[in-house]
Amino acid sequence: MWAFDNSYYRHMDGFHVPTRPDVPPEPRLIRINRPLASEMGLSLDGLDNGQLAALFSGEMIPEGAEPLAQAYAGHQFGTFVPQLGDGRAVMLGEIITPDGRRFDMQLKGAGRTPFSRGGDGKAALGPVLREYLVSEAMAALGVPTTRALAATLTGETILRDRPLTGAVLCRIAASHIRVGTFQYFIARGDTDRLRQLSDHVIARHYPALVETAAPYEALLEAVVEAQAALVARWMGLGFVHGVMNTDNMTVSGETIDYGPCAFLDAYAGQAKFSSIDQNGRYAFGAQPHMALWNLTRLAECLLPLIDADEEAAIARVTAILNRFPERFNWHWLAVMRAKTGLFEEREGDLALMQGLFAVMEGQGVDFTCFFRTLASDLAGEEQARDQFMDPTAFDPWRVQWAARMATEEGRVAERITLMNATNPRIIPRNHNVEAALEAAYAGDFTPFEALLEAVTHPFDTRPEWENYATPPDDGGAGYVTFCGT
Ligand code: AMP
Ligand code: MG
């Protein structure tokens, strides 16, 4: 029925354990992402909601699927854990799209696996809908990300700090291979499997590198580039991932594992939301640095493949890692230029953009609203300036910005168009997400559906979406997210 081609199952012996998802007592479809299904070439013709619920909850295994749980390790908040693995996720298999791309299809919250340790392998409704909302918003914003294909209720109550409605998310990813997947094998001294994994990743995600002279260095370089680009996109949207452990960083460069993530309301460089991130390891402004930290862990895994002489291998990966700041800044400046209506590169752009965030700090400026209204500044309005507690704090930067614009061609109308296509009006704001999840727990999915529709049209204006574009009264102060997925 669907075009499964399960390369990980077939060729990657020792990287996974065949595992069947639990059969949920009473699956019910919450939401199916039909445009995504169609992009994936998954025909849903003739399937009613009951059959869809069965297929996307684990009750029924689609023909051609070969379910498994993947092995991986990871640094969690800096501490190495040699065995993590899919503890509450079962991969159904890989789908080949009509245009020949390969994607994993995974059920998150499908029950215990050999990697579950003490956990129940289940997911609560709130985190499932949260991942659905945020990952689909990210996709609509053009950020590389795993996607949400379907959400189902299991008919089960699961126990967290209180009893909660159980649910399953079916997600799609270019792959679920993480930095932590490499770490699983380096921890076991299994160089053969590290090479096999690297070759698999190169063939799957970076096929242009297959023929290069030094493929494992090239692989590291490619992942460095993909992550520099990804984190730059996060930084341009005020996105805080919240738990950038090495097991939550893909080698494909897609955002993955939307646990305690959040978008900034009021800008603060060190904003953090996760209850478990006591020291701000994964605070907003720390993300580029933590990406490099994770990439350094990946580099360590690749050392034995790069050169038998460890000193020589270290020198070669260090040269690659040292380029991360420059590559990140390059991507970040591209994002920031578009956000501020600039078309060309100029020498002082890094200082100009850093200067903007320096003046925004402590001013209670809503990240999304500020950038969205900045275009109106070009039409002589003061909406952006007025968001500063002390609007005069913005003025010196505004003068620099105007001078910078004067150094390049470009009509005001073109700048405004660029800015409005780059700076979203609507993001999944924390208070709106929480309200939607709370209603869903009470059995009302209308707010979830309405918010999903809005956040997947982030640049549009509709009168009924005004409340989604409005910051919370308190600027989001004190908002805390929890990992309990
Ligand atoms: P994450 O928070 O998604 O980064 O998960 C960290 C690790 O804990 C992964 O190995 C998960 O599979 C595992 N895990 C998280 N929640 C559960 C659960 N409810 N049951 C079993 N394993 C879990
Ligand atoms: Mg994870």
- Rounded CA-CA distance 64/51 in Å is 16
Nearest ligand 1 atom, CA 257: 3
Cα 441 to ligand 1 centre (Å): 22
Is the separation of the CB atoms in 139 and 147 below 8 Å? yes
- Where residue 260 falls (left for φ over 0; alpha for ψ -120 to 50; beta otherwise) is alpha
Report which ligand 1 atom has the smallest distance to the Cα of 89: 12
Contacts of 41 by beta carbon, 8 Å cutoff, 6+ apart:
2, 3, 95, 96, 97, 98
Buried b (16+ CB within 10 A) or exposed e, 275-285: ebbeeebbbbb
Q: Which of 16, 81, 88 to mutate to test the pocket of ligand 1 (most atoms within 8 A of CB)?
A: 88
Ligand 1 atom closest to residue 120's alpha carbon, by position in its atom list: 20
- Distance CA(434)–CA(442), nearest Å, equals 12
Mutate which of 80, 83, 116 for ligand 1? The one with the most ligand atoms within 8 Å of its CB, which is 116
Rounded CA gap, 234 and 215, in Å?
28
For atom 4 of ligand 1, which residue has the closest CA?
A: 248
pLDDT on residue 111: 98
- For residue 124, the surrounding DSSP H or E stretch is strand 123-124
The residue whose CA is least distant from atom 3 of ligand 1 is 257
Distance 115 CA to ligand 1 centre (A): 9
> Can you tell me which atom of ligand 1 is nearest the CA of 248?
4
Closest listed residue to residue 174, CA positions, set 213, 128, 216, 226: 226
Q: Using CA positions, which residue lies closest to atom 11 of ligand 1?
A: 87
Structure confidence at residue 483 (pLDDT):
58
Atom 6 in ligand 1: residue holding the nearest Cα: 84
Distance 182 CA to ligand 1 centre (A): 18
The reported pTM is 0.97
Residues 105 and 93 sit within 8 Å (Cβ to Cβ): yes
Residues identified as active-site? 247
Q: Does the CA dihedral 149-154-155-157 come out positive or negative? A: negative
The structure tokens 């701000």 sit at: 280
Q: Ligand 1 mean position to 167 CA, how many Å? A: 15
Determine the distance from the C-alpha atom of residue 187 to the mean position of all C-alpha atoms in its chain, rounded to a whole number.
Answer: 26
- Measured between alpha carbons, how far is 43 from 324 in angstroms, rounded to an integer? 42
- Give the SS3 label for residue 157: strand
> Which two tokens mark 352?
């100009």
Identify the residue whose C-alpha is closest to ligand 1 atom 12.
87
What tokens were used for 389? 């507690």
**What is the CA(87)–ligand 1 centre distance, in A?**
5
For the chain, residues with pLDDT lower than 70 are: 483-485
> How far, in Å, from the CA of 77 to the mean position of ligand 1?
14
Q: Which amino acid is at 101?
A: R
Reading the block at residue 100, the tokens are: 């020949």
- Secondary element (H or E) of residue 96: strand 89-96
Q: Give the DSSP letter string of 261-278.
A: -EE-SB--TT---BTT-T
Please count the other Cβ atoms lying within 10 Å of the Cβ belonging to residue 75.
19
User: Which ligand minimizes its atom distance to the CA of 166?
Assistant: 1
Task: Enumerate residues with CB within 5 Å of ligand 2 (an ion).
Answer: 248, 257
Substitution site in 19, 81, 84 for ligand 1 pocket (most atoms within 8 Å of beta carbon): 84
Cβ contact 251:198 at 8 Å: no
Report which DSSP code applies to 161.
S
CA of 115 to the centre of ligand 2 (A): 12
Ligand 1 pocket: which residues have CB below 6 Å?
Answer: 84-88, 115-116, 119-122, 243, 245, 247-248, 257, 259, 483, 485
Cα 440 to the center of its chain, rounded Å? 23
Q: How far apart are CA 425 and CA 454, in angstroms?
A: 10
